[in-house]
Structure 1
Amino acid sequence: MTGSLPVAAQVDLRRQPVDDVLERVEAALQVELDRQALVRKRRSLGGRTERGTWVRIERRGFERIGAQGWNGTEAAAVLQGVAMPEWYQGVAWREPGEPVMWRADELELIASPSVGKAALVLEDPGLPDAWWEALNASLDALAAQRTPRIATPDTATITQEHVTQNLGEVFPGVADTRIERWTPAHADLTWANVMGPEFSIIDWEDWGMAPRGLDAATLWGNALAVPALADRVHQERRADLESRDGRLMSLFFLSKIVGPCAYEEDPLLTPAQKEAERLVAELQL
């Protein structure tokens, strides 16, 4: 997609009336949503159905869809060896008169809740060893596969140019930002998108090829307010995070915390600044 595409108007689904959208989804998928327990986020909606499944609905502008299309959750159904909800069916449509697409997917309902209520965590969730074993097995299995899709973390297509620009703006001391290895990644591996105590990964709409270590860096970075948890992530994903690409991806994540949009109240800010100094020094050796 080029920059000449029309940009969709910003809409917050936490406040926008959505009854017409829910009715359309229910009719198309032949389900009944539990509207009293609907989960409303800025760009997406989610809810249980009367037949014990989960429906996820997302609104996204043309400029944020990219060349890979608009079916990430469906496309992820072919992945082997990754703990994730089974995909059953989906429906997509264009919002009349707007450069906007809607998509709804019906999925297996996962019994375990999200480990975190938000992307980051502020206390140790006390995850069992079996959880970490399943995390490792899933990320290793994912990295061993291939896809023509390109990951879109934060809905922005990740490219070498994008990485170089982000790191150059925040960490100009890192001269060589060249990525050596690209592997499939979930691209939004936050604590809100991993379930526990039984491990599973949800929300696959942005997955695709990405620099090695993107997922590990995202999970690690969002644990920095809980040092023991961040250390456990680093220990479990050491091979990724201590690779050169993994260090670059860690800085890529930290650039969003310590960069121009940093704010003092962020619980990640102080540990992120310390880790950024370490990583910059290591990459300069």
Structure 2
Amino acid sequence: MTTEVSEADARFKRWMRDNLDRAAEHFGVVITGDPLIGWMDRSISAPVREGDSDRWLRVVSEDKQWTGGDFWTGNLDANSFAGLAKPHVLDVFEWEEWRQQRAEIMTRVPGSTCSPTDVLRAGISLDDMWWEELRRTTDTIAATPTKRVNSDQDKVTERLTKQFGDAVDPIVAEWETVHGDVHWANLVRPRFGLLDWELWGRGPKGADAATLLCHSLLVPGTARRVREVYADVLETETGRIAQLYVAARLLRRIRGGDYPDLLEPLELHVRGLLGS
């Protein structure tokens, strides 16, 4: 990385922190912890205090041309889910300054995330109730009708064909509503919780189970538990396609420099799915 790029990244991160401070001032809350920078520096979030209540404040920044999609309102739209352990968006504030900023203040799910990174890299102890609540949550999402779209057939076909050529028939036979980002940095313990509902919408059946499995491959014991919890989903042709679709996305991320340690187990997993 050149000095110029490093300085530009540092300036952008400072600007994102200024955005967080502006949002905190707008909502009248006090930032109480270190801010977290999201993927590609496109978001920043932090715990905050509002009176006697703990909240979570998140600010996402995008070029205005990309703000019309379902993802832009995903967290707010997910307020429609009742009875699930998830954040509830309380208020939204948007402003334009070079890019479009969207601040969301939401309830805070108690506990801590299962991993500091999307991919699990260390063993984790989760009780049976946690796993049961995970399955209940993804089943509830799957059964919820929506017009929101996480992935369509064109996207699936493009991703699978680019990665696997004609080794995979890309046609998805079954679709359902998915969270779209069930990985370990979005899962909370010791009591179950699921964060970051930005991407939820219709997608390939089994995509959530496939996502969690592929992000668990570095910890075989946890990957085995995911397979047990979702055996009826993953051990089907539809589940196989969902796993290949998720693997294709992760392989693209790995080529871009993310998760280098995941490459070998993921390629082994893909070979098993392809029967080669």
Q: TM-score, normalised by structure 1?
A: 0.84
Q: Residues 20-39 of structure 1 correspond to what in structure 2 (within 5 A)?
A: 20-34=18-32, 37-39=34-36
Contact kept, 8 Å, 2:55 with 2:107, in 1: the verdict is yes
- 2:16 corresponds, among 5, 9, 18, to 18
- Tell me if the contact between 2:24 and 2:57 (Cα under 8 Å) persists in the aligned partners: no
Instruction: Tell me which moved more, 220-229 or 265-274.
Output: 265-274
SS, match of residue 260 in structure 2: coil
Give, as a single letter, the amino acid of the residue that structure 1 aligns with 2:28: Q
Report the CA distance shift for 1:234/1:63 in structure 2 as closer, same or farther (over 3 A): farther
2:133 match? 134
Q: In structure 2, what is the Cα distance between the partners aligned to 1:69 and 1:223?
A: 25
Higher strand share: 2
Q: What SS is found at the alignment partner of 2:115? A: coil
Q: Which of 80-89 and 260-269 deviates more? A: 260-269
Q: Identity over the aligned pairs, expressed in percent?
A: 27
Structure 1 CA distance for aligned equivalents of residues 167 and 186 of structure 2: 31
Matched AA of 1:139: T
Match of 2:3 in 1: none
Q: Does 1:184 align with 2:177?
A: yes
User: Deviation of residue 69 (structure 1)?
Assistant: 6.2
Give SS of 1:230's match. helix
Write the distance in 2 (CA, Å) between the matches of 1:12 and 1:211: 38
Q: SS of the residue aligned with 2:245? A: helix
Separation of aligned partners in 2, 1:14 and 1:233: 38
Deviation at 1:165, TM superposition (A): 1.5
Mark the CA change 1:222 to 1:12 in structure 2 (over 3 Å): closer, same or farther.
farther
Supply the AA of the counterpart residue of 1:233.
Answer: V
Alignment partner, residue 154 of structure 1: none
State the partner residue of 2:79. 77
Contact 1:217/1:249 (<8 A) preserved: yes
User: Taking structure 1 as reference, are residues 68 and 20 closer, same or farther at Cα in structure 2, changes over 3 Å only?
Assistant: same
1:213 aligns with 2:206: yes
> CA 1:76–1:265 in structure 2 vs 1: closer, same or farther (change >3 Å)?
closer
The corresponding residue for 1:281 is: 275
Work out whether 1:244 is the aligned partner of 2:237.
yes
Kept after mapping to 1: 8 A contact 2:74/2:199: yes
Runs of 4+ in 1 over 6 A off after TM superposition: 10-14, 262-265
The answer to whether the aligner puts 1:163 opposite 2:148 as a matched pair is no
User: d(CA) in 2 for partners of 1:37 and 1:79?
Assistant: 29
Q: Would you say the 8 A contact 1:149–1:207 is kept in 2?
A: yes
Gap runs ≥5 in structure 1: 1-9, 152-157
Aligned counterparts of 1:132 and 1:169: Cα–Cα separation in 2: 34
Cα distance, 1:170 vs structure 2? 1.7
Distance 1:120 1:46, change over 3 A: same
The amino acid of 1:78's aligned partner reads: S
- Paired residues of 2:76 and 2:88 also in contact (CA < 8 A): no
What is the distance in 2 between the residues matched to 1:92 and 1:47? 17
Distance 1:245 1:109, change over 3 A: same
Which amino acid in the other structure matches residue 29 of structure 2? V
1:90-124 deviations in Å (ceiling 9; x for gaps): 212233xx4x3211111112221110100001111
Q: Secondary structure of the equivalent of 1:121?
A: coil
**1:11–1:43 Cα contact (<8 Å) kept:** no
Q: Compute the displacement of 1:11 (Å).
A: 6.5
**SS of equivalent residue, structure 1 residue 188:** coil
> Matched residue of 1:18: which SS?
helix
Seen in structure 2, the aligned counterparts of structure 1 residues 65 and 31 have a Cα distance that, compared at 3 Å, is same
Q: Could you tell me how far 1:60 is from its partner in structure 2?
A: 2.1
Q: TM-score when scaled to structure 2?
A: 0.86
8 Å Cα contact 2:115/2:184 also seen in 1: yes
Distance 1:199 1:14 in 2: 34
| Alpha-carbon distance between aligned partners in 2 of 1:141 and 1:272, rounded to the nearest angstrom | 28
Structure 1 residues 193-226: Cα deviation after superposition (integer angstroms, max 9, x where no partner): 0101111101111111111111111110010001
Asked if the contact 1:82–1:142 (Cα under 8 Å) also holds between the matched residues in 2, the reply is no
Q: Flag the 1:71–1:178 CA change in 2: closer, same or farther, 3 A.
A: same
Residues 194-203 or 174-183, more deviating: 174-183
Residue type of the alignment partner of 1:38? P
Aligned residues: 263
Q: 1:53 — aligned with what?
A: 55
**Residue 140 (structure 1) shift:** 0.5
| CA displacement at 1:19 relative to structure 2 | 4.8
Counterpart of 1:46 in 2: which secondary structure?
A: strand
Q: Which residue of 2 aligns with 1:223?
A: 216
Which of residues 254, 262, 268 is equivalent to 1:268?
A: 262
